[in-house]
Structure 1
Amino acid sequence: MTFRGRTDAGALLIAVPLIGEAEARSRVLALWSPGVTVHELPGGDWLVTLPAPLSLRAEHAPGLPLPTPAEVPRAGAIHRYDRTRLPEVDPAAWLDLGELEVVPLTVPEPELKPTPVEPSFTQEPDLRELASVGEPDPMPPLWPDGGLLGRVLRGWYADRRRRYVDRLAAQFERRRWGDALRNAVPLGGPGGGHPTLRLPGRRSGPLVPTPVRRPGGGSMPYDEDSHRRLRTLYRKAAAALEKDGRIEEAAFVLADLLDDALAAVTLLERHGRPRPAAELAEGRGLEPALVVRLWWRAGDRDRALRIARLRGAYEAAVERLAKVDPRAAGHLRLAWSADRWAAGDAVGAVEAAWPAEDLRAGAVSLARQGLDADAPHRPVLLAYALARRPDPGHADEARALLAKPEPDEADWYDQRAFVRTLRTVDLADRALDTELTGAALRAVLRAAPHETDPAARPGLIRALRRRADPLLAADLPACPPPPDRPVLRLRAERRPGGLPLTDAVALSRTTVLTAHGELGVRLLGRDGRVRAAWDVPAHRLIAADHGGAALLVADRGEAQDVHRLDLTTRRTAHWATLAAGPLPTSYDGTVLPVPDADGLAFLETRAPRLRALARELDRDHTVLALARTPDTLTALIRHRSGDQLRRWDLPRLTLRDRTGLPPARYTLLATGTALLPEPTDTGLRLRAHGRNPGDRGPLPADTLTLLADGDTLAVAAEEEPEVSVTLAETPGGRPWAGVSFPGLPRLRAHAGLVTLYEAEGRIVVLDRTARAQVLNVRTPPV
């Protein structure tokens, strides 16, 4: 206790009998903030508990400052009270609103119109159309299967084909390139179309490669000898044309006649024509890294960056470019790092720049800026920040992180993230490197009970031993095996939160982003306290995979108003107004898949105008639901031919599965699975459609709800007076956690964390890998 001078007070003791209740009330109201509680002590004094220590001068304080509410001085002695047994004083009861007239305010909703979407900077080829995927149109046979007429037609056609090939071969052998190339028939590829008896028509226009080939109306069928003969002629023609310096015509032969786009692209690039090479590579759907490299070398860097961003091709493109132009590869790597930083991904920005020795000083600077901004994944940034000229404060933070003698689950995950990054980062300060690797070795051994990947532990220990003090490394004990983890059983908070919830997602083990409708958005810490708040209406949250950004979606009837939140800078900006419809719950930080009237658009969220980088599907397909993880995207689609389930690999947007479904109300998983409870004689069973179809076993109750997000599934069963939520690794598999809620919760999954939340403000976050509780809190008051 302090009677004079400045002190930090955790509570205040107000002598109500001495100063009177009116004065005591005014002092409490002056102190009031969210989290303040008031309890009445025996004798009439009030114990005011503060949510955080308050620095004040004792002689000017509204009551006796106490370091903690646990110890209260009374009559010359220290008393300890159980505040749960003390009567609570409710300041709300002091407010008399009886004489106030309540006037309801009606605010007209603004009429929002969806933001127009600019077309893609390039027309994406329809790969399914080019590959003729789907039911082919029935074609009549060219001639009867048997009989005299069939034999006569076959002989006539064979003679006609032979004469055509002979004329074409003569033109090629005489190097009459103009006639030969315009009369030549393409071999293979999507341009051939269906068989026909008509001879190919003569081409018009320039003889240059066609970036996007569409199915032709028909082509002559060739026997094996004719096909081999033409292929040999075309190969020789391409070589001769290249030797004569007729590069575009040689590329035409390779790309259009031989259907070898990669060879044509290589030829064009070899002869210093990167722009037509890039157009051809992009139009023919070649490897994205190759397309990025070609556009970068062609000077269209904006286009190269958009493709790299959409297809996740930065790393492969840098490797490809480094083989032919190391300086340009360095510039592309720097642009990659800047792009990740602009997306709010501080760790991604540092890791993109780190492999280049000349960019490491800048990477260390980015890591320090991320630490100053309290960016996500702080332990990883801390390891990088120590690599060059370490700040003493950062070094002390690393020592404190590794020195915790008995880390809990959360501390160990921070330690593990730091240690695994330290393994790959050599510190320039050799003494600090030896000290921290030794401390990291001890931390790895202490935290063995929390390890979720014991197979990786021996390699981690060997890497750290080589850099630690040899005497310390020699004296380390053997690493104990990890214990078996029982099924996790939890109960959510009984009391409701202060703010109603419309959405919540754990971005990391220390932060939860919450949406409260028109009341805005909050960022909560592990203790449930508000770390940041934004007065931007939001009913749904779309979290970036890296946890450094989110899209805030406000429902506005027929429209959805979307703001972008940068969690590193703590700034928000309006992005777009979209038509009402299903949206995924996550995105890569830059590209968001959005259903619209033309199918499925992949919109760039950081462009000044709403722009589609790519499209899938068309007007005949209506997207009913989307489920996404960083690696895969699944859509439930309605088509006139019936419902479909489609799955793409991300980020390359490669279509992997397409399955027809009977109409029903499915629960969708990003793994390409649609789940449906089906009644049987013995109760409900879970039926999987799409990828890996089949019976997934009995469900635990007759009244239940499936909760799903990404690739995570939970089953919520009503068990009066609670709702029991069971989580399993696979649909119908062995459960790993069970959580009880007073009401039906909702589920979000992000970065290995599962968030269960209730509209009344209860939040439970679980670690899916460790099978452990991360937090169990309520939303704070308004």
Structure 2
Amino acid sequence: MIHRPRRLAHRGFVDAVGLLVDRASGERDARARVLSRWTPGTAVYALGGRYAVIFAGTRRVRAEQCEGAPLVRCPGSGSGASLSSTAALSRAEVDALLEDGARPDQLAIVRGGLVETLSLSTASLVDPGAWIDLAAVTLVEVTSLGAPPRVVVAPPEEGARPAPAALRPRDPAAMASALSHALGAMVARGELPASALSHLGALEGSSTVAPAPSPRGLGATLKALWSSLLSPRRRSAPSDGLVRALPPPPEAAGAQAKVAAAPPKSPWWDRLRGWFQQRVAQPAAQRVQGDAQSRYLERMIEMFRKGDLDEALRHALPLGGAAPPGAPPKPVTWAPPQARDALTIRLQPSTHSTATGGSTLHALLRSLYREAVTALEAEGRIDEAAFTLAELLREPGEAVALLERHGRLRLAAELADTAALAPELRVRQWLLAGEPARALGVVRRHGVFDAALTKLADDPAHSVALRRLWARHLASVGDHAAAVAVGSSVADLADEVEAWTDALLALGGPAAVRVMVRRLADRPERFEALRSRLEALAGEEGVGARAERAVFARAASEAKPNEALAMAARMLARAQARDAARHGEQEDLQTLRTLVSLSRDAVLSEDVPTWPTFARVPPASGPAAWRRTLTAADTGPRAVYDAVALRDGGALLALGEAGASLRDRDGRERARLDEPTHRIVWSDHENSALLLGARGASWRVARLDVARATSSPWGECTLDCFAQDYDGDSWVVGQEGEVLALDATAGEMRAMGGPGRTPRTDHARVRCVGRDRAGVAAVRVLSVIERWRWSLPGWTLQEKPLEPLRPADREAVAVHPSGTTARRSASGAVEVDRGKSLPLVELPHPAGTQSEVTHLTSDRVVVARRSPDAVTVLLWSLSLGRSLAELRLEGATSARARIYGDVLTACDDRGRVLSVDLRSGAVLLDLRA
């Protein structure tokens, strides 16, 4: 049977009865994914190139982040008819499959856009225990040193009577034969799988039937209570339809019995409470509640039918779904529902269970509520109609649309926030409500600027307002390149875009070069204003300058040619010819040819010389590491606790209680900031920083504007750990076991957002945290060690695996969003874990040294290795397994180093600061504080 479903896969959270795990990625990976979801009672079947993992019940899973394709029961139109499918099948599609011969015990999967059915009755059951390799295990025969146990004979109790003759089968063989024929007929009709016949062996060989239980008197009841208290509670049978339709063969039952043997005993009070809840509370509640709730529902329904909507809405019951899998059962309420005092939208789940279930009643109430919405809207009672949609029908999206349609814009925005609707919808609602600050907050927390623009495609005025809002915010956090890109299309931002462009040009770098090309292409008359910057770019030497000229060549090739671009290309071509002839690299020669072509100068084209080229091997890729030693006599006047290299060749130095210092490339102090600084948190945009002064267990934090060379205090806080860079908008920290994103633009220190999945717990701590533009990772320690990873924007949880067991003396000291984790032992040795698929990297650890990880990327780690007479800064490549750079600082007792791109910057407590470009091995900065 072949069908083309409209929706090929499930999306979001679904109640899965199992998973379909593809084995195409490798048997080892497939088994690992199966075992990650396996629990006692789970059945695993081999279906060709797949494993079908059938749960003992339903589980709430997120389809996009699941280990395999979720199998979900898709109901048909008929009563009880359904199929387990990896596709989100509609009722009509399920009915079509059933009419074509599909059976409820089969699985519907999607292959090549088409639906196929697979039968588990013909599949082979897999025992995951067989995957454990026992080849290295040696079995040793043992004998008891004591006497063998004494055989105890238990004589039959006096007064024991056989079962009544009426309860015993007259002909057990005939009964078994009749049962065999009946089951065979059901298998032939497809009502049962063929494996059901495998259970007949035990019946055919049995000649007796257990006696039926007799009615209980008071003594029997007390005995049952005593047994219930002294024995563990029995597990309830799986309630899932797929599991009931597929009884496991005998070997599966044996495997499950082994796993479920000897369950742990629960406390006696839990068993007493469970017995009381099941035997006394629930039956009594059903008897007491049934009549009271029935009368309540009858009155409520009668109110709706009479049109008394005021009282009906006060007495109406919200419609809700079933409790999520694994959630504890709700306590039974003994009182009937109570009328509400006011029609307030709360969107809170119910806290007690009631006896008002049933699909027929649910459909009736839904119909009454829908009719009430229509009537209330017609009468102009918009708030009551929105209440009915949001609170009773649990359709907040429809309620928001209704309120917007009738001009209740602020209430619609508040409801969208309360219901946690899609962030882009909430941005639109707050803009419509005239509160752009609230809209900006949603964009910042969820990173939905592009999605919100799409949502506002039919509303040009608010679309322009969002662009203006977002461009100004980007400029305020230092991302001038993005601000120019967003704000260029907003007419009234022309002057501000010009100022942002000037700030970007002053900062320099590839982004500034691209903006320069755009300005020359759009406004050729600005050539004279940009001449000094072009001359500076032409006069600079080194790898960075050649790379920026290559960026100019590529950007100018894509722009519309004019005379200003031609003159700029002519100026840069002469400088590029000088550097290309000196270095002889093929990339430099190609850039020169592009610049000559852009200059449109025939004479210059004829004068371009030729020279041989060769492929230069950077120090980071060469066979030997870059090495340098600074002697103990070569020191500065004061200690440097942290340092960052600036794009213009200068540096920002942390001088402890002496403050922070901005230096030029020749070492002259440009500005001194009167803020205690022991650590620097550097901005991705390289124009701002956070200055951290140690205050015991706390940190005093100040904000620095590099371009203006000004600082301002921000506040003090106690932190478990913090990221050593930020995006100018938010700073990721760990505080009391919780990962937070502090709002770096706020006047006071406050959390702007975060994952919301690491609850604050007593004694929990975040040991380390790392971030980049794409994600955040953190290692959290409580009773176990967890490594959390989120993707940005939106803080989507990617994984939360437990850290693998390590020796007790090793702790995580650094983590990267890619999952790379650095650990340090008590002896000072460092190891880096890159995940299960890559080997563990152990860094060299000479005797008598202590190592500190100062910076970690996905492929490199920077370590300060302290010995009695020096500190050695070591840059290690994780993929190459060797050192890329080593800087020995003699006489130092502490040092810090960090790497951004291909530039390594190091400093120590003897006042020495050095920065090296690993592409060429050139020392960019060498100063003494």
- Give the shorter-chain TM-score range: 0.5 to 0.7
1:688 Cα deviation after fit: 2.9
The 1:561–1:677 alpha-carbon spacing in structure 2 relative to 1, beyond 3 Å, is closer
How big is each residue's C-alpha offset from its partner over 1:212-232, in whole Å with a ceiling of 9 and x where there is no partner? 635634466956676677667
CA distance in 1, matches of 2:235, 2:380: 42
1:356 Cα deviation after fit: 3.2
What pairs up with 1:97-108 in 2 under 5 angstroms?
none
CA distance in 2, matches of 1:320, 1:453: 47
| Number of aligned positions between the proteins | 627
How big is each residue's C-alpha offset from its partner over 1:345-378, in whole Å with a ceiling of 9 and x where there is no partner? 4334323312435534531233225546889964
Q: Given the alignment of the two structures, is residue 184 of structure 1 paired with residue 317 of structure 2, yes or no?
A: yes
CA distance in 2, matches of 1:172, 1:436: 79
The 1:237–1:512 alpha-carbon spacing in structure 2 relative to 1, beyond 3 Å, is farther
Q: Given the alignment of the two structures, is residue 779 of structure 1 paired with residue 922 of structure 2, yes or no?
A: no
Q: Given the alignment of the two structures, is residue 636 of structure 1 paired with residue 779 of structure 2, yes or no?
A: yes
Secondary structure (helix, strand or coil) at the match of 1:779 reads: strand
Secondary structure (helix, strand or coil) at the match of 1:294 reads: helix
Q: Given the alignment of the two structures, is residue 668 of structure 1 paired with residue 814 of structure 2, yes or no?
A: yes
Q: 1:742 aligns with which of 882, 889, 908?
A: 889
1:259 Cα deviation after fit: 4.2
1:285 Cα deviation after fit: 3.1
The 1:418–1:162 alpha-carbon spacing in structure 2 relative to 1, beyond 3 Å, is farther
Amino acid at match of 2:545: D
Aligned equivalent of 2:627: 491
- Contact 2:811–2:824 (CA<8 Å) still a contact in 1? no
Secondary structure (helix, strand or coil) at the match of 2:760 reads: coil
1:705 Cα deviation after fit: 2.7
Aligned equivalent of 2:471: 337
Q: Tell me, which stretches of 5 or more residues in structure 1 are unaligned? A: 1-127, 134-138
- Contact 1:195–1:221 (CA<8 Å) still a contact in 2? no
The 1:166–1:708 alpha-carbon spacing in structure 2 relative to 1, beyond 3 Å, is farther
Q: TM-score, normalised by structure 1?
A: 0.65
How big is each residue's C-alpha offset from its partner over 1:34-64, in whole Å with a ceiling of 9 and x where there is no partner? xxxxxxxxxxxxxxxxxxxxxxxxxxxxxxx
Aligned equivalent of 1:411: 545
Amino acid at match of 1:186: L
CA distance in 1, matches of 2:365, 2:635: 76
Aligned equivalent of 2:742: 603
Q: Given the alignment of the two structures, is residue 654 of structure 1 paired with residue 796 of structure 2, yes or no?
A: yes
Aligned equivalent of 1:571: 710
The 1:149–1:232 alpha-carbon spacing in structure 2 relative to 1, beyond 3 Å, is same
Aligned equivalent of 2:641: 502
CA distance in 1, matches of 2:674, 2:776: 32
Aligned equivalent of 1:352: 486
Indicate the structure whose relative CO is greater, using CA pairs within 8 Å and at least 6 residues apart: 1
Q: Given the alignment of the two structures, is residue 308 of structure 1 paired with residue 443 of structure 2, yes or no?
A: yes
Aligned equivalent of 1:99: none
The 1:507–1:401 alpha-carbon spacing in structure 2 relative to 1, beyond 3 Å, is closer
The 1:184–1:753 alpha-carbon spacing in structure 2 relative to 1, beyond 3 Å, is farther
What pairs up with 1:208-223 in 2 under 5 angstroms?
208-210=344-346, 213=348, 216-218=351-353
Secondary structure (helix, strand or coil) at the match of 2:549 reads: helix
Secondary structure (helix, strand or coil) at the match of 1:285 reads: coil
The 1:570–1:346 alpha-carbon spacing in structure 2 relative to 1, beyond 3 Å, is farther
Q: 1:548 aligns with which of 677, 683, 687?
A: 687
1:541 Cα deviation after fit: 0.8
CA distance in 1, matches of 2:400, 2:586: 44
- CA-atom RMSD, angstroms? 5.4
What pairs up with 1:281-680 in 2 under 5 angstroms?
281-321=416-456, 323-356=457-490, 359-371=493-505, 378-386=512-520, 387-388=522-523, 390-397=525-532, 399-400=534-535, 408-419=542-553, 430-436=562-568, 485=618, 486-487=621-622, 489-492=625-628, 494-495=630-631, 496-498=634-636, 499-508=638-647, 510-579=649-718, 581-596=720-735, 599-614=738-753, 616=756, 617-620=759-762, 621-639=764-782, 641-661=783-803, 664-671=810-817, 672-676=819-823
CA distance in 1, matches of 2:483, 2:440: 15
- Report the more deviating stretch, 364-373 or 586-595: 364-373
- Contact 1:361–1:388 (CA<8 Å) still a contact in 2? no
1:515 Cα deviation after fit: 0.6
1:550 Cα deviation after fit: 0.8
1:554 Cα deviation after fit: 1.2
The 1:222–1:552 alpha-carbon spacing in structure 2 relative to 1, beyond 3 Å, is same
Amino acid at match of 1:778: D
CA distance in 2, matches of 1:687, 1:344: 34
Amino acid at match of 2:742: L
- Contact 1:195–1:220 (CA<8 Å) still a contact in 2? no
- Report the more deviating stretch, 229-238 or 650-659: 229-238
Amino acid at match of 2:768: A
Amino acid at match of 1:669: V
1:401 Cα deviation after fit: 6.0
Amino acid at match of 1:674: T
The 1:610–1:252 alpha-carbon spacing in structure 2 relative to 1, beyond 3 Å, is same
Q: Given the alignment of the two structures, is residue 700 of structure 1 paired with residue 844 of structure 2, yes or no?
A: yes
CA distance in 2, matches of 1:578, 1:527: 36
1:637 Cα deviation after fit: 2.6
CA distance in 1, matches of 2:651, 2:463: 38
CA distance in 1, matches of 2:399, 2:585: 49
1:202 Cα deviation after fit: 4.1
1:281 Cα deviation after fit: 2.6
Amino acid at match of 2:433: A
The 1:739–1:241 alpha-carbon spacing in structure 2 relative to 1, beyond 3 Å, is farther
The 1:638–1:392 alpha-carbon spacing in structure 2 relative to 1, beyond 3 Å, is same
CA distance in 2, matches of 1:470, 1:171: 89
Aligned equivalent of 1:123: none
CA distance in 2, matches of 1:774, 1:482: 18
Q: Tell me, which stretches of 5 or more residues in structure 2 are unaligned? A: 1-59, 66-231, 240-277
1:462 Cα deviation after fit: 14
Q: Given the alignment of the two structures, is residue 757 of structure 1 paired with residue 916 of structure 2, yes or no?
A: no
Q: TM-score, normalised by structure 2?
A: 0.56
Secondary structure (helix, strand or coil) at the match of 2:928 reads: coil
Aligned equivalent of 1:714: 861
Secondary structure (helix, strand or coil) at the match of 2:840 reads: strand
Secondary structure (helix, strand or coil) at the match of 1:555 reads: strand
CA distance in 1, matches of 2:365, 2:601: 70
CA distance in 1, matches of 2:597, 2:375: 59
- Contact 1:503–1:514 (CA<8 Å) still a contact in 2? yes
Secondary structure (helix, strand or coil) at the match of 2:413 reads: helix
Secondary structure (helix, strand or coil) at the match of 2:630 reads: coil
Aligned equivalent of 1:96: none
Aligned equivalent of 1:23: none
The 1:400–1:215 alpha-carbon spacing in structure 2 relative to 1, beyond 3 Å, is farther
The 1:370–1:470 alpha-carbon spacing in structure 2 relative to 1, beyond 3 Å, is closer
Amino acid at match of 2:564: L
CA distance in 1, matches of 2:454, 2:603: 40
